[in-house]
Structure 1
Amino acid sequence: MTAYSRLTPEARGLGMTSQRARDRLIERLKADGIADRRVLDVVRQLPRHLFVEEALATRAYEDTALPIGQGQTISQPWVVARMTEALLEHGVPARVLEIGTGSGYQAAVLAALVENVYTVERIEELLRNARRRFRKLGIDNVRSRHDDGRLGWPDEAPFDAIVLTAAGAELEQALLAQLAPHGVLVAPVGPAGRQQLVRIRPGADGARIREVLCPVSFVPLLGGTL
């Protein structure tokens, strides 16, 4: 797991990207209900400004989604924190599959908290950029793949947890099939304007429990590759 303890001056940031700006973000997240100290500590340390375009770096520690090109966004920090918190609530998973690498920010947050992250991205340019950021930050426990995320990563299944960063109309059965019996899946589900963050987790009788956590707004989960 990565601790981000040896950050370069660029990663430490200045002014609107400084540690003070990150601390203000953490206070906002806490005020809005994020309580897991492990998640808050990672968000506090991780230089989100390195995951956005340089022109938007001064807005990196606002609690808002930002464009990253190709019609995609880096998710709002509160949403990243809430999804991560939901994955960890009933135990720390060892192997996590992420669908939709995007900027790489969600994978980087997870990499500091779990043993291994497997991430799939359909847009090759975004994946190349994310890989560059992982190398720059010394994150070595993320494996990535350019593929249709709806298919998951069957060769590496089963996974202790799966997280989706794009919303489908329903949960993909191919992904549910790659979830270990004890596993947890967190995903936005539903059409634009009516999406809900859903968690699937095991129940006491072996059946899976479906929970609705909160309303969200994500880009759509699309098939194919670019």
Structure 2
Amino acid sequence: MNLHDDRAGRLILHLRQQGVTDPRVLAAMEAIDRAVFVHERFLDQAWEDQALPIDCAQTISQPFIVGLMTQALEVGPRHRVLEIGTGSGYQCAVLSRLARYVYSVERYRSLLTEAEDRLKLLQIDNVITRHGDGGLGWPEQAPFDRIMVTAAAPHEPTELLKQLKPGGILVCPVGRTSVQMLNRYVGQPDGSFSRESLTEVRFVPLVEGAAKEA
């Protein structure tokens, strides 16, 4: 067993003990090399269960949170998934192994370019990306079977819920403070949505507009 396999195996065991038990989710996370998505100075922490800084004052999420959110999304092999907040590209790489297509929106063009390069390196070809305002979703490609938001919405993501198929699932952290609630929304037959609060989380805020970078 090489070093990558050893570290990945220990992380997957830890995630299973923490409650991430879906075998498809665990297999996807084990298959994606998280070290590809972190800065060189943090390579020694790539397989630790912790969030790490990336450019533009953003983060690559803690693996437990990635696993928990992915498990809550219940992605099937024929699903079209919208991800809001491409970031490093790690979360959409995991989703790419579970879904038919992943559509990912990022407000920072530099982050998006780097994420696209990483996805190409891993020969992931079922992710479609867009530079833009994540809060607006991707209406031209809607409706989606599943939607994941990897930044904290200040209130319920009504615009994104409109882009969800009947019976679809949306997972999103919601709150204006440094600690938010991770919510899971499920479409109901009458067009309404049920809401389940999963756990407290810490995400960067979902900000309006595409970022203007120097």
Segments of 5+ residues of structure 2 without an aligned counterpart are: none
The residue type equivalent to 1:174 in the other structure is E
Q: Deviation string for 1:25-82 (max 9, x for gaps)?
A: 0111011111101111111111000001111111010000000111000000000000
Partner of 1:42: 28
Answering whether residue 193 of structure 2 is matched by residue 208 of structure 1, we say: yes
Q: Deviation string for 1:153-193 (max 9, x for gaps)?
A: 00000000110000011122221111111211000001233
Residue 130 of structure 2 aligns to a residue whose secondary structure is strand
User: 1:93-108 residue pairs with structure 2 within 5 A?
Assistant: 94-108=79-93
The residue type equivalent to 2:118 in the other structure is R
Segments ≥4 residues shifted beyond 6 Å: none
Give the structure-2-normalised TM-score: 0.94
Determine which of 124, 129, 132 is the counterpart of 1:147.
132
Answering whether residue 155 of structure 2 is matched by residue 170 of structure 1, we say: yes
Superposition RMSD on alpha carbons, in Å?
1.6
**Matched length:** 211
Answering whether residue 60 of structure 2 is matched by residue 74 of structure 1, we say: yes
Identity of matched residues, %: 49
The farther-off stretch of 165-174 and 204-213 is: 204-213
C-alpha distance in structure 1 between counterparts of 2:204 and 2:21, whole Å: 26
Partner of 1:87: 73
C-alpha distance in structure 1 between counterparts of 2:158 and 2:192, whole Å: 16
C-alpha distance in structure 2 between counterparts of 1:222 and 1:175, whole Å: 14
C-alpha distance in structure 2 between counterparts of 1:206 and 1:178, whole Å: 12
Determine which of 13, 31, 35 is the counterpart of 2:17.
31
Segments of 5+ residues of structure 1 without an aligned counterpart are: 1-11
Residue 215 of structure 1 aligns to a residue whose secondary structure is strand
Residue 138 of structure 1 aligns to a residue whose secondary structure is coil
The farther-off stretch of 92-101 and 22-31 is: 92-101
The residue type equivalent to 1:82 in the other structure is L
Determine which of 27, 37, 42 is the counterpart of 1:56.
42
